[in-house]
């Protein structure tokens, strides 16, 4: 018959099936043990003694930690249902749900989606690498991090820098776990090296910008994508900010010129950009489509589709560069602004960067600009040389 276990503390009791069986005729009810000297009886008693020892250990641990112990808590721990021992995916879910509550205040929906993607990547990794759906937090160690990083690079096709972004988000979730009061004996990230590789950011020359702008494409979709790309090139707006752009964000400034005055979706930083002739013409071109686009100024498709069509545009225009919506932002910072003498501080403000160090990543000074600057320097030096030779001139 089944052997039941009852735990009683100060009159409170709970009981459960031990999943062990014994012969009622060979059972000592008072002692709660099997009688006899058979191998089966001795083995059963050894198992029961082990259960009693564990119950005592959990009881003493609860008294030390809380000053009291509950029968139900001990039973749960004995059955592996420790409420204090949460799993990684449980914490991931908690973190992401709390993060969503901050959308529009201290963070953006885009970043929230990236945390969701990180959670999904972790879930896939656990299934493929370990054939499990979840792990306890205590099981995360340095090698776990290295395996996850390798999975992102080798299985998901991430570049080193993209994989590092995933690892940084995972570290944020881990810090969230620690901040909830969860006791981690060792920090697995202590020896994990976060390293990014220098990337040569793609930018277009003025000649390439003009070639795209002046090209007449055979399909309306390519013409629209081209217009939005050129609009970004002359304003520096990120994809999501162009996507969300409405008439309320086009305002007459102190200089009687129309400006884009908005906030970056990604960071909430203010963005103020004067509208040049070309982006103004593009806005005017799509005036009639605003009603159809729910008040949005431009007919912007998904970022994935935009980048797909931009590859097609590059091929048609004979441009051997990987075009994307972000290339337009780089090009604004370099070819349009810096190469034409706009100070780095002004470019940083128009891009909506919190730090000028971020702008310096975008700010690739073109050879043409260097050539012009050195030409001006050479002219000044020659003028000074001429004055020294002909002081009366």
Give the domain extent around 165.
88-179
Co-location of 218 and 74 in the same domain: no
Examine the fold and report which residue of 164, 179, 194 is the final residue of a domain before the chain moves on. 179
Domain count, the chain: 3
Q: Kindly state the tokens that stand for 35.
A: 């009688």
Decide if 189 is inside a domain.
no
- Classify 265 as helix, strand or coil: coil
Q: Are residue 241 and residue 320 in the same domain, yes or no?
A: yes
Whether residues 354 and 248 share a domain: the answer is: yes
How far apart CA 384 and CA 291 sit, in angstroms, is: 62
Q: pLDDT value at position 82?
A: 61
Residues 147 and 272 in one domain: no
The string over 332-364, giving b where at least 16 C-beta atoms fall within 10 Å of a residue's C-beta and e elsewhere, is: bbbbbbbbeeeebeebbbbbbbeeeeebeebbb
* Residue at 263 is within a domain: yes
> Is 280 a domain residue?
yes
Q: What DSSP state is assigned to residue 87?
A: B
148 in the same domain as 292: no
Per-residue pLDDT of the chain (393 residues; tens, 9 = 90+): 999 999 999 988 999 898 899 899 889 888 889 998 888 889 999 999 999 999 999 899 888 888 888 888 888 788 776 656 678 999 999 999 999 988 877 677 888 999 999 999 999 999 999 888 888 888 899 999 999 999 999 999 888 999 999 999 999 999 999 998 877 778 999 999 998 887 777 889 999 999 999 999 999 999 999 999 999 999 999 999 999 999 999 999 889 999 999 988 777 788 999 999 999 999 999 998 887 778 899 999 998 899 999 999 999 999 999 999 999 999 999 999 988 888 889 999 899 888 888 787 766 556 656 676 788 788 888 877 676 666 665
Do 153 and 32 sit in the same domain of this protein? no
Q: What is the pLDDT of residue 266?
A: 74
Check residue 293 and give left, alpha or beta (phi > 0: left; psi -120 to 50: alpha).
Answer: alpha
- Shared domain for 101 and 71, answered yes or no, is no
Which residues lie closer than 8 Å to 327 by C-beta, 6 or more apart?
202, 203, 204, 310, 321
Q: Is 389 inside a domain boundary?
A: no
Q: Which of 78, 111, 145 is the last residue of a domain?
A: 78
What is the pLDDT, as a whole number, of residue 215? 94
Alpha carbon separation from 286 to 283, 293, 384 (Å, rounded):
6, 10, 54
- Domain identity same for 168 and 211: no
CATH code for position 225:
1.10.443.10
Does 191 map to a domain?
A: no
**Which residue shows structure tokens 């005055």?**
261
Q: Are residues 363 and 214 in the same domain?
A: yes
Q: What are the residues whose beta carbons fall under 8 Å from the beta carbon of 235, sequence distance 6 or more?
A: 242, 260, 273, 275, 279, 332
- In order of 158, 370, 371, 373, 376, the CA distances from 384 in angstroms are 55, 21, 20, 17, 13
Residue 363: per-residue pLDDT? 62
Domain assignment present for 221: yes
Examine the domain organization and report whether 74 and 130 are in the same domain.
Answer: no
For 105-128, the DSSP string reads TTB-HHHHHHHHHHHHHHHHHIII
Whether this model's pTM surpasses 0.95: no
With respect to residue 287, please indicate whether it lies within any of the assigned structural domains: yes
Q: Are residues 92 and 216 in the same domain?
A: no
Same domain, 92 and 67: no
Has residue 386 been placed in a domain?
A: no
């Amino acid at each position: 018959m089944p052997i039941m276990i009852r735990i009683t503390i100060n009159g409170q009791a709970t009981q459960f099936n031990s999943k062990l069986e014994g012969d009622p005729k060979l059972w000592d009810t008072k002692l709660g043990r099997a009688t006899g000297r058979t191998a089966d009886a001795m083995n059963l008693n050894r198992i029961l003694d082990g259960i009693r020892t564990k119950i005592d250990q959990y009881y003493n641990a609860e008294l030390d930690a809380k000053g009291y112990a509950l029968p139900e808590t001990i039973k749960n721990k004995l059955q592996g249902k420790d409420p204090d021992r949460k799993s990684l995916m449980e914490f991931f879910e908690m973190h992401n749900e709390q993060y969503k509550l901050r959308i529009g205040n201290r963070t953006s929906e885009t970043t929230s989606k990236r945390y969701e993607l990180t959670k999904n990547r972790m879930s896939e990794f656990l299934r493929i690498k370990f054939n499990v759906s979840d792990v306890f937090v205590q099981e995360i160690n340095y090698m776990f991090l290295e395996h996850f990083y390798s999975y992102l690079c080798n299985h998901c096709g991430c570049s080193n820098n993209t994989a590092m972004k995933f690892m940084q988000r995972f570290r944020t979730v881990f810090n969230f776990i620690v901040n909830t009061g969860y006791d981690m004996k060792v920090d697995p990230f202590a020896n994990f090296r976060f390293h990014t590789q220098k990337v040569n950011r793609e930018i277009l020359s003025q000649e390439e910008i003009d070639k795209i702008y002046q090209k007449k494409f055979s399909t309306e979709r390519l013409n629209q994508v081209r217009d939005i790309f050129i609009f970004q090139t002359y304003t520096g707006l990120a994809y999501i900010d162009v996507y969300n752009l409405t008439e309320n964000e086009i305002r007459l400034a102190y200089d009687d010129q129309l400006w884009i005055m908005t906030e970056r979706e990604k960071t909430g930083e203010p963005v103020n950009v004067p509208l040049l002739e070309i982006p103004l013409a593009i806005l005017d071109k799509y005036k009639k489509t605003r009603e159809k686009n729910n008040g949005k100024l431009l007919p912007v498709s998904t970022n994935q589709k935009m980048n797909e069509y931009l590859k097609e545009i590059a091929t048609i225009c004979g441009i051997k560069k990987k075009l994307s919506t972000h290339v337009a932002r780089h090009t604004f910072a370099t070819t349009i602004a810096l190469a034409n003498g706009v100070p780095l501080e002004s470019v940083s403000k128009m891009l909506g960067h919190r730090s000028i160090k971020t702008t310096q990543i975008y700010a690739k000074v073109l050879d043409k600009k260097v050539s012009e600057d050195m030409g001006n320097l050479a002219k000044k030096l020659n003028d000074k040389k001429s004055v020294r030779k002909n002081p009366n001139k």
